[in-house]
Structure 1
Amino acid sequence: MDSVPDIVDFVLYLLGVLSVVVWAIIIMKSWAWYKSRNETNHFLSEWQQVRTIYELPKLIAKSNSSFARLCNAGMDAMNAVMANSVLRRNERQEVILLSLRQQAYEEHKRMDGGVAVLASIGSTAPFIGLFGTVWGIMNALKTITATGSAGLDVVAGPIGEALIATAIGIATAVPAVLAYNYFMRRQKVHRADMEQVASRFQSLLTQSGMEG
């Protein structure tokens, strides 16, 4: 019976580790989004002033944003297809579009890192805490059976430990779920901006006559 409380202790330890993981991801992702926002705002403000495809290399060179990397991938694809005289116009467009989509996917994946972990912890932590609670109550019932006493001094310790497991489970899950929802909203906006930049890149490409 001495091994029974060890299960609850393990649950509490596991929830503590998960809580540390949650806050570590929140801090790292928040910093990453903060840097990305500054780089993005600077790039997009100058991006609106671009009128021809020939102005892009200068803008790309002085930016480290995901949008600059997207445009750079498009420029590389454009240079490659223009050097290939075998490709027809529609084939050149497809190659450039595929390159933009691949780079956009890489940028999305870069910003998605860690978000799935938040979702997993947010959905499982309450149940892990509940498991600790149930196990603690079972321990209390076994103690009552063994001692033949249901006094407060007998059951207070195991039940209190059980309730702590539930509380820590909820305390771990709440910030994980809130952070997950926040980062998902940020990613949704980022994806929309990425699509707009890709569309305007293609528009600049067409206006400059580089696809022909």
Structure 2
Amino acid sequence: MNATLVHDLIFYVMYAALAIAVVIIIERTIWFAWTQRQAKQLEKQMTTDTMTLNELPEALRRQTSLPVKMIEPVLEKKNGVSSEAMNDIMDAQYLLSKPAMTRGLWLLETVVTAAPLLGLLGTVMGIMDTFKALAASGVSDASQVSAGMGTALFATGLGIAIALLCLVSNNFLQNRMERINELLKVLLLRAATPTRASNNEGWKEKGVQRYA
């Protein structure tokens, strides 16, 4: 096994992982910010009396955002199904939103775990390569030994740095995702709440008088 080749390949893999992680971090940060803004705007405009998407501002309806896609099926079934069926629809819509929310985050979690291990493997291979070169040439110059060891240890440092970057970014994105999930739950509850007229009809059918 060529330790030098493996050592170089490990560096290439770590740099590729860093590039992928940076792309995911930037894309998720932008997507979460846009989705959270859409959810907040929708939360301000929508009430429990909203029956269809057409009652919302056109600027919100034109946006194919996750919040709009989530509440549309709920509004379509509003006042037309039982409470148990509506709960099932709400649960289904919430679960269907998960893949869009978590897209790419598993890669960050993988890099957090794998980067230090790759760095350690690169260090081991670098040390093996250094000792092999010393054994072959019989070099006794301490500066050459230090240079080889420094290159080997750089792999561990790079792996730890990549892992820290991905860990902090992943925690930030998870916090942002939790805030968006809370807004989505509020929107689903508002979209599923029966209107006052529907409540009145239900009370009349049951012969129960409504008190102000």
TM-score normalised per structure 2: 0.82
Q: Which residue number in structure 1 is paired with residue 150 of structure 2?
A: 160
Does the alignment pair 1:146 with 2:136?
Answer: yes
Within 5 Å, give how 1:72-83 maps onto structure 2. 72-78=72-78, 82=80
Does the alignment pair 1:193 with 2:193?
Answer: no
Q: Which residue number in structure 2 is paired with residue 123 of structure 1?
A: 113
Letter in 2 for 1:35: W
Q: Among all aligned residue pairs of Structure 1 and Structure 2, give the percentage whose two residues are the same amino acid.
A: 22
CA distance in 1, matches of 2:13, 2:172: 25
Does the alignment pair 1:18 with 2:7?
Answer: no
CA distance in 2, matches of 1:61, 1:27: 29
Distance change >3 Å, CA 45–CA 206, structure 1 → 2 = closer
Q: Which residue number in structure 2 is paired with residue 209 of structure 1?
A: 198
Does the alignment pair 1:177 with 2:162?
Answer: no
What are the ranges of 5 or more consecutive residues in structure 1 without an aligned counterpart?
Answer: 83-88
CA distance in 1, matches of 2:128, 2:197: 74
Letter in 2 for 1:163: L
Does the alignment pair 1:98 with 2:88?
Answer: yes
Does the alignment pair 1:35 with 2:34?
Answer: yes
CA contact (8 A) 2:126 2:149 kept: yes
- Provide runs of 4+ in structure 1 moved above 4 Å: none
Q: Which residue number in structure 2 is paired with residue 85 of structure 1?
A: none
Distance change >3 Å, CA 146–CA 60, structure 1 → 2 = same
CA contact (8 A) 1:60 1:71 kept: no
Q: Which residue of the other structure, out of 53, 62, 66, is the alignment partner of 2:50?
A: 53
Q: How many residues align?
A: 198
